[in-house]
Structure 1
Amino acid sequence: MPASPARRTALTVLRRVEEQGAYADRALHGDARDLDPRDRALAKRLVFGTVQRRGTLDWIIAQHVDRKLDPQVRAALLLGLYQLLYTDVPAHAAVAESVELAKPSPGAKLVNAVLRKVQRQGVDLPSDDNPKGAAIAHSHPEWLTLMWWDWLGADETRALLAADNEPAELALRINPLAGVEVDLPGRREDDALVVEGPMDVLTHPLYLAGAITPMSRASQRVARTVDPQPGERILDLCAAPGGKTTHLAALMGDEGEVVAVERHPQRAKALQTQVERLHATSVRVHVADAKAVTADALGGRFDRILVDPPCSGLGTLRTHPDLRWRATPQAIEALRVEQEAIVAAALGMLAPGGRLVYSTCTLSPREEVVAGDAVRTLPHRDGTDGFYIATSDGDQGARSEVPRLR
């Protein structure tokens, strides 16, 4: 019996991620578009879960295999192990379909042997009472586990590692500027609606009408912290894809001006499309480098400024499963330099008595570059993305006391 379309697609996407460095969510969006909704959901579950658990699965494979595997065989084995150990897929289906995915390679026999042995004997993972063991047991890079262990403590780190491997809640932002009533089942918090059950948001009529947009509850806290008022001038630096930009416009009743700065022309174009879909007529998109833009170029100083700079994204590992394997301490140090430069430029455009809000969707002390009143959300504690949101009165600049990563 041939493998199911969902598993065939999952194998193709996983190989693109492993061999070509593709992003799992983007590759899945392209390769799974022709599947029916049920198969598309299964393919996503298999790809995201296998990529998230890759560190643990690699450790298990190393206990059973002493040679380099053909890429197709390796991908099939990863998918089979993930299904056996972390899903409710019947064991016979997980084994049989993974063997089919490995064919016609002779390695299909190895896939069958390893999966059946794991099915019979299970696995004994290292204890998570130390950073090295926790990194293997919870499938995170060891350097990242150690960073959190030193920063947050052992108990918080173990809880965070476990939460990163759980499905993220589906949160929407309800957009009042659309003038459309939103009557969907779920839990309401301010403009946020946490949806119950699966939902294909991007094809939903309410999305097409601009009445809803996917946005985590943590992300929605950012614009509320900026607290824009009708008639004010607001600056949003590094604004694409526009979720926070359009939320700012909605919170001020679309009265005033939101200048959204984005340096990449294609991202700025996508931002403009988002602005139009969400009926935010007060937003003006400006293509420029946030580190170099000036108040004169933008028509004067601003009452409130949001700095939402490029970051490592370590607070979003549930929805971006491969980020944990892409981030490095060196990349974080480079990001900090850029973040500090953007904050410095922003402070030069803030009106006297104005408010600057700095936010990142990451959990990294080196990226908390702004002091001031701050809040940090944690996935295991708050049930949403990990964010750092700091408010400065304009007299506080970038931090210098945060130790460098190891």
Structure 2
Amino acid sequence: MPKLRPFSKQPDPARREAVQLLERIESDQAYVNRLISEHLTDELPPEAGRRTTEYVAGVTRWRRWLDFLLAQAYHGRYDQLEPRLRQILRLGLYELLFLKTPAYAALHEAVLLAQAMVRPQAGKVVNAVLRTLLRQQDFLPQPQTGDVAEDLAICYSHPTWMVQRWLARYGREATEALMQHNNTRPWFGIRVRTDRIARSVVLHRLADRRVEAEPSPVLDDFVRVRRLQPILEDRLIEKGLLAVQDESAGLVVRLLDPHPEETIIDACAAPGGKTTYIATRMRDHGRVLAFDVHPGRTERIRQAALQQGLTSIVAETLDVRHVAERYPTLQADRVLLDVPCSGLGVLAKRADLRWHRCPEALDELTQLQDALLEAAARLVRPGGVLVYSTCTIEPEENEMRVQAFLQRHPEFALEGAENWVPASMVTPAGFLATWPPRDRMDGAFAARMRRKA
């Protein structure tokens, strides 16, 4: 529950900032993580900045369910309500239902926001709508459209098309488990530079700071934490001792299985988490060639390497589809291709991503993924390894892309993932596939293929 402040006649700066960010997310299709990374909350005190982040992520995550409830309580066309007033209502209801802010405080703050950010009379509308739902909070209205996918999509605040796909593939129980996971505050993966600091030391340090943490059950150099802020404040990341990285990304690098003195290409490398882990697993002996198409993101790879003291990494702004043209003799022992994808495996951490995706975009993505696979394959030496990976759970971007590639390229053969990652995460076909509700990490997919000598 957010820390309460004394009654004031001025809107709370954290809530005011949250409303403005929520407007940008909806009207400009902005991303929560990108807005926060732009340091838009830096002018707020740390506690207020954290609350703003909580408000923005939570309202974005539960937007569809909040809108359904608000539409039931609003006397008029809710879809024609002023956008800013809608954001204020969403925030107020989110506080009442999910943060358990005392009703008097949540109502007071929402009314102040409406009066200051919309117009004085708007406070009455906010007060009336939220009070109506407050009276119904023990028996909230439920959707009854007659369509199971539509009703579940409203209740769990997901796009209907996603729920339709998942119901067809997984059934109702697994689909509900997946959506529950996506709506739960996530655990964050932290990779420990165990060549510099013991994992046990990190865990003791986190315990001293009362940070909920536990060792990863699948990777001996990872821990899981509930909150990132104390780690950022402790400066262990700045010192190159820790890196924020989901365990699923770590498992992809383990599947690649880099060795010292090899030449390894990370073909779509930014922001550099897998790149630096590859170099660490190689004990920084060999060459890690990191390519990315965006100059700013390539610079982030260089900064990550510098921060972690890794000298084997060479980062260059270059589309992997043009690497063979620029370096016609380049052949790598291992190539990692972590392709752009729909990201439907990371919806717990990326609250807004569900609203930015559409089924039509999958066709464009799969065409891009095929083109990138073709380019990456040319960079693998005879006898070398190619790992294709995504952070999605959609088969069109995963198994189907690999199967199509292997049909086009009989010189590559799939190698089962069971020798490098836990058997529980290996599919019958031999792919690495993490399942968020079961594994408590992002949903990811990877295939390991070897080019015949």
CA contact (8 A) 1:295 1:348 kept: no
The more displaced of 126-135 and 320-329 is 126-135
Contact preservation (8 Å) 1:176, 1:250: no
Distance 1:360 1:198 in 2: 24
Does the 8 A contact of 1:249 with 1:258 survive in 2? yes
Matched, 1:188 2:223: no
1:166 aligned to which of 184, 192, 195: 184
Shift of 1:196: 5.4
1:295-328: CA deviations, max 9, x gaps? 8717521111100011111111122111000011
Equivalent of 2:163 in 129, 132, 145: 145
Question: Structure 1 residue 347 and structure 2 residue 399: aligned?
Answer: no
Measured on the aligned residues, the alpha-carbon RMSD in Å equals 2.0
Asked if 1:81 is matched to 2:93, the reply is yes
- State the SS of the aligned residue for 2:320: coil
Residue 438 of structure 2 corresponds to 381
2:102 equivalent to 1:90: yes
Which position in structure 2 is the counterpart of 1:60? Answer: 69
Query: Which of 302, 305, 311 is residue 281 of structure 1 equivalent to?
Result: 311
Residues 319-341 of structure 1, C-alpha deviations (whole Å, 9 max, x = no match)? 21110000111212111111111
SS where residue 306 of structure 1 aligns?
strand
Aligned 8 A contact 2:192 2:221 in 1: yes
Q: Helix, strand or coil for the counterpart of 1:389? A: strand
Q: Secondary structure at the match of 2:27?
A: helix
**Aligned partner of residue 305 in structure 1, secondary structure:** strand
Runs (4+) of structure 1 exceeding 6 A deviation are none
What's the secondary structure of 1:357's corresponding residue?
A: strand
Q: In structure 2, what is the Cα distance between the partners aligned to 1:108 and 1:288?
A: 53
User: Unpaired runs of 5+ in structure 2?
Assistant: 1-7, 204-212, 404-413, 415-429
Deviations 1:3-35 (A, max 9, x none): 322212211211221223221222234221122
After TM superposition, the structure 1 stretch with the greater mean CA deviation from structure 2, 287-296 or 194-203, is 194-203
**Counterpart-to-counterpart distance in 1, 2:269 and 2:110:** 43
Cα shift at 1:242: 0.1
Q: Could you tell me how far 1:264 is from its partner in structure 2? A: 1.4
- Give the partner amino acid of 1:125: Q
- What amino acid sits opposite 1:138 in the alignment? Y
State the identity as a percent. 36
In structure 2, distance between residues paired with 1:322 and 1:229? 38
3-state SS of paired residue (2:324): coil
Cα distance between partner residues in 2 of 1:28 and 1:227: 34
The answer to whether structure 1 residue 237 and structure 2 residue 267 are counterparts is: yes
* 2:104 aligned counterpart, secondary structure: helix
Cα pair 1:295 1:301 within 8 Å, conserved:
no
Q: Distance in 2 between matches of 1:98 and 1:375?
A: 46
Find out whether 1:291 has 2:306 as its counterpart.
Answer: no
Query: In the comparison of the two structures, how many residue pairs are matched?
Result: 394
Deviation at residue 250 of structure 1 after TM alignment? 0.4
Residue 25 of structure 2 corresponds to 17
Instruction: Give 5+ residue unaligned stretches, structure 1.
Output: 396-406
Distance in 2, Cα, partners of 1:278 & 1:332: 36
Q: TM-score under structure 1 normalisation? A: 0.92
1:7 to 5, 15, 23: 15
How far off is 1:126 after superposition?
A: 2.8
